[in-house]
Structures are given as structure tokens and as C-alpha cells.
Amino acid sequence: MIKAFENYEIWFITGAQLLYGGDAVKQVDGHSKEMVAGLNDSGRLPIKVVYKGTANSSKEVSELFAAANNEKKCIGVITWMHTFSPAKMWIHGLQILHKPLLHLHTQYNAEIPWDSIDMDFMNLNQSAHGDREFGHIISRMRIRRKLVVGYWKEEKTQNHIAVWERVCAAWADAQDMLILRFGDQMNNVAVTDGDKVAAEQVLGYHVDYCPFSEVLSYFKEIKDADVDNLVATYFNEYDHDSSLEDKTSEAYKKVWNAAKAELALRAILKAKGAKGFTTNFDDLGDVDVERSGMGFDQIPGLASQRLMAEGYGFGAEGDWKSAALYRSIWVMTQGMPNGCSFLEDYTLNFNGEQSSILQSHMLEVSPLIAASKPRLEVHFLGIGVRKSQTARLVFTSKVGTGVTATVVDLGNRFRMIVNDVKCIEPKALPKLPVASALWIPQPNFEVGAGCWIYAGGTHHSCFSYDLTEEYWQDYAEIAGIECVFINENTKVDEFRKELRFNEVYYMLNKALL
């Protein structure tokens, strides 16, 4: 199990009944215990599965699901019908269950024992139609769930369960997620705005405004010795020119001030219990910071980069939806090797089949995706309320495939847009000292970029090398939101039809409600 998930558990409940007698239920129980132990011992599941016994009646189902709701460690429930479990006995329990549900369609034994199979075996091993009975009632009740079909010992079956477990962890984390907006959204920008009340109702997280004056109250309390220690950490962890360590230089002062800003942001995030934040480059305290000393003397790009690497959600220009989504990606990918980041579509490179999009931001890209050790540099940044020399980590991303995602507010619903991308080797950027990635949206630039725009996708997105479409499919299913995928199989006309059909579906669904 992964240490980051050690306080979570998944409950496993087996459906049965007493029609075949107590001895049969004992066998069901024994098989279930063996299966759960096998899943945990496989080394493929990041979160421990806890067997909670057989459910043989409506009362037992309701009690188990009510207990799952009330147990904070339980972040999801797996159900499996070992034998025939009449589905009507699951109705009341399913009506109250608030945790994510996975229906596992499997069987204790792999193959039919052709030479010895008899009616007793048939009666006991009835997953073939017991799971269909259970699947029917879930479908009739319109219960959202993940269905995994396959033999429980097989790697691919366990991998599907593992994906869902990671998504459950991110979902549980989002239910008490606080995002702080340090300043407001950037004026007149549509995609970074949205309905915060609806977001909390549907996705769980809460968004609060925090005036920058409150950040500065923490900034004033930061001790110089702590800043000195953090600057030493910078010099130890990142490549840099030795001249940067000259304490009499302007560049050193900028690094020192960036470290103080990081400590201030850490302090307020910890004090508030926040899991993510946004910034706005037009709101950093007093405009005349040199005179008043009451503000950041530069955009806190270095702080944002480092905080993202530690799991804090981040969104630029007040983009609270991206901040929350990045936090969820970071949670999902704990223990995975390749990294994730908030990114922005910056500029296009038309080059035939290699046409691509340069992903960057002014400064705020997570070093988790860096191809090599990041370099600490100080350069002028002429944007926002602080046009000044600014500290940042400079690097390019790894070459490889990944997936990027965004959530947009369409007024009557949230839509998740997911695009497979291929990160390619960038050319040198001698006059653009920022962190960056260069990718080709799949299946190619024209289709990938075009479908993203047709879907209303943002210029901000949250990227991971380790996640796949399956993670976002599971996430959208748990959340009950629309999700569209752009991948190697996408055709523009079919994608546009899907968007139109979805629009009709959600309009009718809202009207019926």
C-alpha cells in the first residue's frame, strides 16, 4: 500500500442469501476472505481492501452502507455477488449510499470444473447471473458506479480496481478541500470564472476569497533566519550561477524576497487548512511596495512552483477550478514516477505533422515534470502590477505521452474535457527563461486543438504523464458530470455530434428534474 493512502480503506461487501443454507454462506464468506487477501497481497492496489462480510438481507445491506457512509476511512465500496442475491434487497441500502461504488463482476474459481460440476456447485457459484441481477437494480435506480469485469486474480482486473481506488482517494480529498483565492479572478476572463456554489454541490470543494492584505499579515511575521534557511535550500536543491549567492547583489535580494513570499503563503495555507490557492498578478499588495514595504516585490512564481510540487493545488489569474483539479491529480498520482503540473497554452508552432503547442505560464509550472534538475534564475518580468526582476525555476518537461484535463462551467452543468497529448523535445529558448513543455495534442494538432475549442476548453489545464483516460472517466462518473475525450480515435464530425447529443441530454435531464 502507498503511504499517502494509509488512512484510507475500501470496503468489500459480498452479496448472498440464506436460500441455500448457512453452510453455503460460510463457503461464500471463506471465498470472499481469500479473494480480498489476494487483492491486497497482489501489490497492485494502492489502498487496502477491507472485507466487511456477506449481505444476506435488506437490513444487512442498509446497515453496511450506513456504516460505510459514517466511516471516514472508507472512501469507496466494492460489491460482488458470489451467489444469487435478490436485487430488491439492495434498494434501501443503495438509496442511502454516498460513497463511490464499484461493482466487480468476477467469480471465485477461474474455470468450470467440468468433471465434477454438480447442482451444489451451480447453486453456490452464481455470479454469472447474480451480478446481472445486481447490475439491473443499479441501472434501474440510476446509481453511478464503475463496473469491472474479469477474473479477480488477473493483473488487468486488479489494475482497473487500482485506478478506481486512486480516483476515490482524490474524490475523498476533494470533499473537504479549501481553495483560497488571493485576490480575485483576472478581469473579464470567462474560463477562470464559474459558479462556486454549484462546484461545491457537485464536486465537493469550497472556494474562499482571501484579501491580499491578510497574506501580508503573515508576511510581516516571517523571521529572517527562516528566510535564510530556505534560500540555502534553494541553492542546495537547484542548479544556479554562483553569482546568485552574492548577498550584495540585486538578484540575491530577489531570491531572498521570493523565499519570504513562499514562507508567507505556506503559513496562511497551513493556518486556514487550505489545499490549494490562486494568485492574480494584478493584486500583490501595495502598488508602491518599495516605499511601503507592504507587498510582494515580485509575482510569487517560485513559491507557486514549489508548493505545487508538494501537492498544493494552483491556478493562475484566480482560476480556482484548475487549482482544485490539480490538487486532485496530485492526490491520484501519489507514488507514480513521472509528475503532473498546471499548464497554459501559450503559443503555437506550425510545423506540418509536428505542429504543436508551447505549454508554459509566466512562471508557474511544477518541477515535478522537469526532464532534469531545474535551474534557479532571476530575470525581468514585465507583466502585472510588479514589473521587476523575478525568481523562478527554469526547465523543460520530459519527453513522453500524457493526458491533460480541464473542467468548464457551461451554465447548466460542468464539462470535463480530456485530451491525450505527446510531449516532444523542445528547442532552446535563450530569451524565454521559463519552465515549459511542448506537446502535440492527439490525434494531431488540427483535430486535438480544434475539438478542445469546440468543447469550450480553457487555456489552462492540468497535465499528468501517469494518468490515462480511465482515471477521468471514473472521476466524472463519481461526480456525475459530463466528460468528453479527445484521443487517437477522435474525428471532428463525430465529436461535434457527441457535443450536440450531450447538450440535448442535459437540457432534457434538467427539465425532468
The pLDDT confidence band at residue 262, using thresholds 50, 70 and 90, is very high
Span 57-71, average pLDDT: 97
Q: What is the per-residue pLDDT for 290?
A: 55
361 among the known binding-site residues?
A: yes
Tens digit of pLDDT for each residue in 82-136?
A: 877 888 999 999 999 999 999 999 999 999 999 999 988 887 788 888 899 999 9
344 among the known binding-site residues?
A: yes
Q: What is the per-residue pLDDT for 512?
A: 65
Higher pLDDT, 382 or 90: 90
Query: In angstroms, what CA-CA distances link 398 with 171, 338, 402, 423, 434?
Result: 28, 8, 10, 7, 15
Span 183-207, average pLDDT: 89
Cell of 183: 485576490
Higher pLDDT, 450 or 26: 450
Span 158-177, average pLDDT: 98
Give the residue extent of every domain in the chain.
3-167, 178-512
> Residue 495 in contact with residue 484, Cβ under 8 Å?
yes
Distance separating alpha carbons of residues 507 and 504, to the nearest angstrom: 5
Q: What is the per-residue pLDDT for 19?
A: 64
Q: What is the per-residue pLDDT for 129?
A: 86
pLDDT of 68 above 80: yes
SS3 19: coil
As a three-state string, the secondary structure of 198-256 is: HHHHHHCCEEEEECHHHHHHHHCCCCHHHHHHHHHHHHHHCECCHHHHCCCCHHHHHHH
Name the CATH topology of 3-167: Rossmann fold (3.40.50)
Instruction: Name every residue whose Cβ is closer than 8 Å to that of residue 125 and which is 6 or more positions away in sequence.
Output: 82, 83, 107, 108, 109
> Residue 250 in contact with residue 239, Cβ under 8 Å?
no
> Residue 506 in contact with residue 409, Cβ under 8 Å?
no
Tens digit of pLDDT for each residue in 218-258?
A: 999 999 999 999 999 999 999 999 999 999 999 999 999 99
Q: What is the per-residue pLDDT for 1?
A: 66
Tally Cβ neighbours within 10 Å of residue 37.
12
Percent with pLDDT over 70 in the chain: 96
Tens digit of pLDDT for each residue in 426-473?
A: 889 999 999 999 999 999 999 999 999 999 999 999 999 999 999 999
Q: Which residues of 418-435 are buried (b: 16+ CB within 10 A; e: fewer)?
A: bbbbbbeebeeeeeebbb
pLDDT of 22 above 70: no
Distance separating alpha carbons of residues 351 and 445, to the nearest angstrom: 10
